[in-house]
Each structure stands twice: as C-alpha cells, then as structure tokens.
Chain A
Amino acid sequence: MTGGRDTACRRQLGRGLVRRSFKLGQNPLDMTIRDIVLIALFAAIIVAFGLVPVIPVAGLPVPITLQNLAVMLAGAILGPRRGAAATALVMLLVAIGLPVLSGGRGGLGMLLGPSGGFLFGFIAGAFVIGWLAARFARVRGPAWKENGLSILACIAGGIGVCYAMGIPWLALATGLPLEKAALGALVFLPGDLAKAVVAGLVARGVRRVYPIPLK
C-alpha cells in the first residue's frame, strides 16, 4: 500500500520520534515529519480552495466554494488523525488572524460567531470521514460500490457531523429553536451534497493512482 521509495528508512526515523501513549491508543505525536508535511500541505490545499475561482457544477444553481470539499478530502485521503489535524491547523491560522477562510475572511470573530460551530464541526467531520474511509478502504467490489462507500463517508462526516455541531451551536447561540436553525442550514444542503459526491469520487480516484495508508 505504501508508495514511498524509502519508507523503511523513514519508518525507522519515525520510530525515534514516538513518545508516549495516548488514550486513542496512539500518541498524537506519533507523527513522522512526512505526516507533518502531509498535514501542512493539505491545510494549504484547504486554504487554496478558499481562493480559487468557483467551479460551476452543471445543473446546480448554488455557487460552490470548494473549501469544505477540501476538508472532506483531507479526511478521506489522509485518514482520521491527519485529516483532523490538517483542518485544525487551518482553524489555528484563522485564530491567529490570517484571512484563510473563503472570501478572504479570518480572525477570531469567525470562530466565535454564530457559524463557528460549523468550523469546529469541520475538524470532527474530517476525523469521522477518515475513520469511515479507513474502514471502507478494505471493502473490494465493483466501482459503483467503492465509489458509493467513499461518497457515503464524505456525507456522514462532511455533512452529518458538521451540521450536528453547527446547527445546535447556531440554535444555542441565537436562542432559535433547533428546527428553525436546521431549516436555515438546509439552504446549504444541495451544495454540500454535490461537494460530498465530488470529494468521494476524488478520494477514490487518488487512492487508485497514489495510495497512502490512512492514519
């Protein structure tokens, strides 16, 4: 599964960096330099996708920013811990005041505002996508089945988990009843579904040509 040329050598180097056990069974520090670089590069993709011009998707009236597509990809391609770390890294950049969210927005106000729950939901969502993707990666079957599972992981984490954190935050912060807050988020559902489908297909496409172990 590993694509690296000198993976064995790198693993040896990585072993020296492992420090202590953590309750997930693995230390968050159980990360090689390559992991850190992958996390940082995916965070850079998430930032870059907030800046690129919108790709029109046929038959969809909603304009699509690609930022949460990139979040889904981080989970689906890097795996749970690295995917969540890449997303958390972007939120750190937001917190220190860099305009890395789509539309050039950033700063602490974004994290504390009414939609902040969705941003924290991205981190948990990327983790869940990665966890599911690692589970589904073992399933072999016809293309439609593998694609379907990959898309399912993106929907569950990128929409399910993200909304499950964002909507109650919105409701709690504004005193709106939960149904009303959920109704408001419904506007974004068609766009997010389209992005989950694209993310699922991209993730499988990448895995086919350049598989890296999910971690």
Chain B
Amino acid sequence: MTAPLYSPGDSLLHRAPASAKLAGLVVLGTAVFLTADLALLLPAALAGVLLLAIVRPPRARLTRQLAGSAILIGLVALIAGLSQGWHQAAVVALRFSAIVLAALAVTLSTRAADMLEAIEALLAPLDRRGLVDSARIALAVSLVLRFVPDILGHYREIREAQAARGLDANPLALIVPLVVRTLKDADDIAAAIEARGFPPDRPGR
C-alpha cells in the first residue's frame, strides 16, 4: 500500500549515490528553465527517457506514475499552444517531460532509506544549529509508515459500524470519529515512546 516506488536493480543509476542523483536533478531542473531553445530541450527530454531506460522499472509502475503527469503536461501544453503558439507549447512540454522523467528515474532507482539519508545530510547544517532534529524526523517518518494501515483499518471499522446501523456514508459522521480516535491513540503512543527512553541524549548539547 505504501510500498516504496523503488524498483531493485543494478544499473548505473542504482549504484550512483543518492546525493549525486539529487544534485544532478537540481542542475537539470535549473538548466531547463534557463533556456527556451528546442535544440537544447529536446535532448534533455530524451536524456530523461534514456535514464528511465537505464533503470528498467516494471512497466505497470511506470505507466501508473507517468499517466497523471502526461495528462497534466499535455493539458498545460495545449493551453500554452492555443494562447501563445506551438513553439511555446513544445518548450513547456519538453521542459516538464525532462524534469518528470529524470525525477522518476531517480525515484525508481533510489531506496527510500538512502534518499532519507541524503536529505538528512542536506539538513545537517540546520540540525547542528538546533533548527531541526534528524532523530525526530526519522521517528516521525517511521511512525507514519507504521500507522497508515491502522488508520485505514479504523476507517473501515467505523464505516462498517455505521452501515450496520443502516446509515449512509456521511463524511462528517465518518471523519469526526476517525480523527477523535486518532487523537486518543496519540496519547498512548507518546506514552509508550517516552517509556522507552526516547529521545536519546545527544552529545554536545
């Protein structure tokens, strides 16, 4: 359900460090906005396709991820074409195709844990100044992944209980109990975490 998009493999992109891939993405994302030259944007979009071809993800995953973006980019290009001519439409479509394809290639070839580590490294200067706390971010991320199925379970239970009493699906009657139950759960979970001695003491503070 929240299984990562990562698809295992041994390509060049899989082996590259996550931080290098992120940096490459930032460079590409900046570069395509600095030019409106189709002779540069077309190769950039093709490079995106090439990167995806290197990663070789399962086709079902690829179509699912690309379908929404393709519709959106097509729509935006259509509006741009109608209002500002087809050259602009091609610029917009190629620009976003390049970014979306390359970003998808990075996403598919990087483990969530590696990406998290790269992002934590980016946040490290803030961490040292006490503006963010990577231990807490890591805790929060793991809590989310742990509790999504629980919340879906609560949702189903509440819906079934109401259906059993002959009630139609009513957003208010469904969401209020779900949220209240979640708020109550938070108290118990927090107590359990504190009882286990989290957060660990950090040296140098």
Contact = CB atoms under 8 A, between A and B. Distances in A.
12 contacts: A29-B130, A33-B199, A36-B143, A40-B141, A43-B140, A44-B148, A52-B155, A93-B144, A95-B119, A97-B4, A107-B65, A113-B73
A139 interface: no
A209 B176 contact: yes
A175 B141 contact: no
Q: Which of A29, A57, A93 has the most CB of B within 10 A?
A: A93
Interface string A18-43: 01101000011101111011111111
B186 A174 contact: no
A22 to B, nearest CB: 7
Interface stretch (B9-17, B38-46, B76-84): B76-84
Contacts, number: 220
Q: Which of A20, A73, A108 has the most CB of B within 10 A?
A: A108
Given A113-B100, A206-B180, A40 B140 contact: yes
Contacts of B205: 19
A175 B85 CA distance: 11
Given A27-B130, A52-B152, A202-B175, A114 B73 contact: yes
A99 B131 contact: no
Interface in B165-186: 169, 171-172, 174-176, 178-180, 182-186
Interface stretch (A119-127, A128-136, A159-167, A176-184): A176-184
A17 B103 contact: no
Interface of B: 1-6, 25, 29, 33, 64-65, 68-69, 72-73, 75-76, 79-80, 83-84, 88, 91-92, 95-96, 99-101, 103-104, 106-108, 110, 112, 115-116, 119, 130-133, 136-137, 139-141, 143-145, 147-148, 150-152, 155, 169, 171-172, 174-176, 178-180, 182-187, 189-191, 193-194, 198-199, 205
Contact of B182 (A45, A69, A202): A45
A161 to B, nearest CB: 21
A190 interface: no
A69 to B, nearest CB: 8
B189 A37 contact: yes
Contacts of B193: 33, 37
Interface string A198-215: 100110011001101000
B172 A198 contact: yes
Nearest to A48: B151
B131 A28 contact: yes
Interface in A41-69: 41-45, 47-48, 51-52, 55-57, 69
A98 interface: yes
Given A184-B79, A198-B171, 12 more contacts: A32-B190, A40-B143, A41-B147, A41-B189, A43-B140, A44-B148, A98-B112, A112-B100, A173-B33, A173-B95, A174-B96, A205-B176
A206 B171 contact: no
A77 interface: yes
A37 B186 contact: yes
A77 B179 contact: yes
Contacts of B1: 51
